[in-house]
């Protein structure tokens, strides 16, 4: 009896910390393969690169826990980035204050992003359409809108302040990384310590039981998609400010793949019902280290997608074996 109990506990602990163990192992391997890996600048570059999709993956975690999926995040990022910069360029001459113009443009971008997520949520909850179909459709819609308002080209900001915002650091930590960690802390508390987090897991585990338990299932799902829209807006603003421009045809491409991969590698099953925010952050960092290792080893960038796909398939396979 005792041996069986201790075996179960060991298995539980392994599953709980599997992504962290994988991160430590990968970190050690990368350190051995390249003497440049441990350089502070390289580590910060990895964190900066993964922060944009990592922020999006935080929202994707909530959506997947609810039993859904969101394929539109990359297109929403491009659309929101273009809207933010166009708004900034339009109001800058009017208000005459660069800081105020940047602030208003950021608020407008976050509002539009939240509305994009809310649209997905309404179509899924009120329209009773499968999340895959809804977000596949809105993925095409928002990309098309981004191309339209940007004339299928690049939208450039007229504000140096906006560009500096994306390149700044807080105590040597790049702003996008700092924002990602703050959001992760807030969302971890939301998922683990609030009623909404408990209801979200209940909805993802069994919608019928959740409904019989007097949980407003539609509201829980709607908020998950709206939250995802908001964090996509945060990521889009940070990314567009980094380059002080948005390429409407390229920005956000494959963001949905990276976000979903980070969530899965972090230990959140595609079946929903449970998940971990910090596991998602670890999953995003794992993907970043893999890409960095491949670059240092001189592997063709065209093969990096193959490696990423194999990692996703492997993570899902391992989860199925545990189940």
Residue found under tokens 């995802």 = 228
pLDDT digits (tens, 9 = 90+) for 59-78: 999 999 999 999 999 999 99
Largest CA distance in the chain: 75
pLDDT at 4: 52
Q: Give CA–CA dist 308/323, Å, rounded.
A: 23
Predicted confidence at residue 156, as pLDDT, reads 93
Q: Above pLDDT 90, what percent of the chain?
A: 62
CA angle 279, 176, 78 (to 5 degrees): 95
pLDDT(13) > 70: no
Residue 7 has pLDDT above 60, yes or no: no
pLDDT class of 152 with cuts at 50, 70, 90: confident
For residue 69, report the phi and psi dihedrals to the nearest 5 degrees. -155, 150
Query: What share of the chain has pLDDT > 70, as a percent?
Result: 93
Please write the tens of the pLDDT for every residue from 177-191: 999 999 999 999 999
How confident is residue 12, by pLDDT bands cut at 50, 70 and 90? very low
Higher pLDDT, residue 1 or 262: 262
Q: What is the pLDDT of residue 1?
A: 46
pLDDT tens across 35-62, in order?
888 888 888 999 999 999 999 999 999 9
| pLDDT top residue among 17 and 49 | 49
Compute the average pLDDT of residues 129-153. Answer: 94
Please compute the mean of the pLDDT values over residues 198-227 and round it to a whole number. 94
The predicted model gives 210-232 an average pLDDT of: 95
Q: For residue 236, what pLDDT band results from cuts at 50, 70 and 90? A: very high
Structure tokens at 30: 């990368």
pLDDT at 16: 67
Distance CA 47, CA 168 (A): 14
For 315-319, what is the mean pLDDT? 74
Which residue's entry shows tokens 């491009």? 78
Mean pLDDT across 215-232: 96
Is the pLDDT at 315 greater than 80? The verdict is no
Please give the residue that has the higher pLDDT: either 48 or 170. 48
What per-residue confidence (pLDDT) applies to 164? 86
Cβ 51 vs Cβ 238: under 8 Å: yes
| pLDDT band, very low/low/confident/very high, at 3 (cuts 50, 70, 90) | low
Mean pLDDT of the chain: 89
Q: Has residue 219 got a pLDDT over 80?
A: yes
| Alpha-helical regions (H) of 66-158 | 73-95, 98-125, 131-149
Q: 10 Å Cβ neighbour count for 132?
A: 13
271, exposed or middle or buried, with CB in 10 Å at 0-12, 13-18, 19+?
A: middle
Domain segments of the chain as ranges: 39-322
The topology under which CATH files domain 39-322 is ABC transporter involved in vitamin B12 uptake, BtuC (1.10.3470)
| Backbone region of residue 171 per phi and psi (left: phi > 0; alpha: psi in -120 to 50; beta: other values) | left
Q: For residue 18, is pLDDT > 80?
A: no
């Amino acid at each position: 009896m005792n041996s069986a109990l201790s075996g179960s506990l060991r298995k539980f602990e392994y599953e709980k910390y599997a992504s962290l163990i994988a991160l430590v192992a990968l970190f050690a391997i990368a350190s051995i393969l390249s003497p440049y890996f441990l350089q502070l600048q390289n580590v910060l570059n990895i964190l900066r690169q993964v922060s944009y999709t990592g922020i999006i993956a935080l929202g994707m975690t909530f959506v997947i826990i609810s039993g859904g999926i969101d394929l539109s995040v990359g297109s929403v990022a491009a659309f929101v980035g273009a809207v933010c910069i166009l708004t900034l360029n339009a109001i800058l001459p009017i208000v005459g204050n660069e800081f105020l113009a940047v602030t208003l443009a950021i608020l407008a971008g976050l509002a539009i992003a939240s509305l994009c997520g809310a649209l997905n949520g309404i179509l899924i909850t009120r329209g009773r359409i499968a999340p895959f179909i809804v977000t596949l459709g809105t993925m095409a819609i928002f990309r098309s809108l981004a191309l339209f308002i940007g004339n299928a080209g690049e939208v450039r900001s007229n504000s140096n302040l906006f560009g500096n915002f994306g390149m700044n650091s807080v105590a040597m930590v790049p702003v996008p990384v700092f924002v990602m960690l703050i959001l992760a802390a807030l969302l971890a508390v939301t998922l683990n310590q609030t009623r909404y987090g408990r209801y979200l897991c209940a909805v993802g585990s069994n919608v019928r039981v959740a409904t019989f338990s007097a949980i407003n299932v539609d509201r829980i799902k709607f908020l998950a998609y709206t939250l995802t829209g908001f964090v996509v807006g945060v990521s889009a603003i940070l990314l567009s400010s980094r380059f002080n421009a948005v390429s409407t045809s390229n920005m956000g491409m494959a963001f949905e793949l990276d976000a979903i991969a980070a969530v899965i590698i972090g230990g959140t099953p595609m079946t929903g019902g449970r998940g971990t925010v910090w596991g998602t952050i670890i999953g995003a960092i794992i993907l970043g280290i893999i890409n960095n290792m491949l670059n240092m080893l001189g592997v063709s960038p065209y093969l990096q997608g193959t490696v990423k796909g194999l990692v996703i398939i492997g993570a899902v396979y391992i989860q199925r074996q545990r189940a």
